Homo-oligomer: A and B are copies of this chain.
Amino acid sequence: MNQQHMPERPIWRDAEDGKIRIIDQRFLPHDLVISELNSVDDVISAIYEMMVRGAPLIGVTGAYGVYLALANEGQQTDLQPAFREADRIKAARPTAVNLAWAVDRTLEKAAAASPDRRAETARQEAAAIAEKEAENSYRIGRHGLSLINEIAGKKSGSPVNILTHCNAGWLACIQVGTATAPVYAAHEEGVPVHVWVDETRPLNQGARLTAWELGAAGVPHTVITDNAGGHLMQKGMVDLVIVGTDRTTYTGDVANKIGTYLKALAARDNNIPFYVALPSSTFDWQIRDGVAQIPIEERDPDELRYMPGFEKIDENLLMPKTSLAANYAFDVTPARLVTGFITERGVCRAEERAIRELFS
Which residues of A line the B interface, CB within 8 A?
A: 29-30, 197, 199-202, 204, 207-208, 211-212, 214-215, 221-232, 234, 257-259, 261-263, 265-266, 269, 291, 296, 304-305, 307, 309-310, 314-320, 322-328, 330-332
Q: How far is the CA of A266 from the CA of B215 in the complex (A)?
A: 32
CB distance from A283 to the nearest CB of B (A): 21
Decide if A266 touches B259 in the complex (CB within 8 Å): no
Q: CB-nearest residue of chain B relative to A333?
A: B230
Q: CB-nearest residue of chain B relative to A207?
A: B319
Q: CB-nearest residue of chain B relative to A216?
A: B320
Indicate whether A228 sits within 8 Å of B29 (C-beta atoms), given known contacts A201-B199, A310-B315. Answer: no
Of the listed residues A309, A314, A323, the one surrounded by the most CB atoms of chain B closer than 10 A to its CB is A323
A-B contact pairs, 30 of them (CB 8 A): A29-B319, A197-B323, A199-B319, A204-B318, A207-B318, A211-B323, A212-B319, A214-B323, A215-B322, A215-B323, A221-B323, A221-B324, A222-B326, A223-B305, A223-B324, A224-B326, A225-B226, A225-B259, A226-B227, A227-B257, A230-B331, A231-B296, A231-B330, A234-B291, A234-B332, A262-B262, A262-B263, A262-B266, A265-B265, A310-B316
Copies of this chain per assembly: 2
User: Per a CB cutoff under 8 Å, which of B202, B221, B322 touches A225?
Assistant: B202
Decide if A225 touches B324 in the complex (CB within 8 Å): no
A-B contacts besides A200-B227, A225-B327, A228-B259, 5 pairs, CB < 8 Å: A204-B318, A207-B323, A211-B323, A215-B320, A232-B328
Q: Which residues of B contact A201 (CB under 8 A)?
A: 199, 201, 225-227
Q: Which residues of B contact A223 (CB under 8 A)?
A: 304-305, 319, 323-326
Decide if A30 touches B317 in the complex (CB within 8 Å): yes
CB distance from A132 to the nearest CB of B (A): 30
Q: Which residues of B contact A269 (CB under 8 A)?
A: 265
Indicate whether A199 sits within 8 Å of B318 (C-beta atoms), given known contacts A259-B228, A296-B231, A307-B307. Answer: yes
Decide if B259 touches A230 in the complex (CB within 8 Å): yes
Q: CB-nearest residue of chain B relative to A314?
A: B30
Q: CB-nearest residue of chain B relative to A196?
A: B326
Decide if A234 touches B261 in the complex (CB within 8 Å): yes
Indicate whether A228 sits within 8 Å of B332 (C-beta atoms), given known contacts A223-B323, A265-B266, A319-B208. Answer: no
* A-B pairs with lowest CB-CB distance, top 9: A227-B259, A231-B331, A265-B265, A207-B319, A211-B323, A201-B225, A230-B261, A262-B262, A29-B320
CB distance from A50 to the nearest CB of B (A): 15
Decide if A227 touches B258 in the complex (CB within 8 Å): yes
Q: Which residues of B contact A228 (CB under 8 A)?
A: 258-259, 326, 328, 331
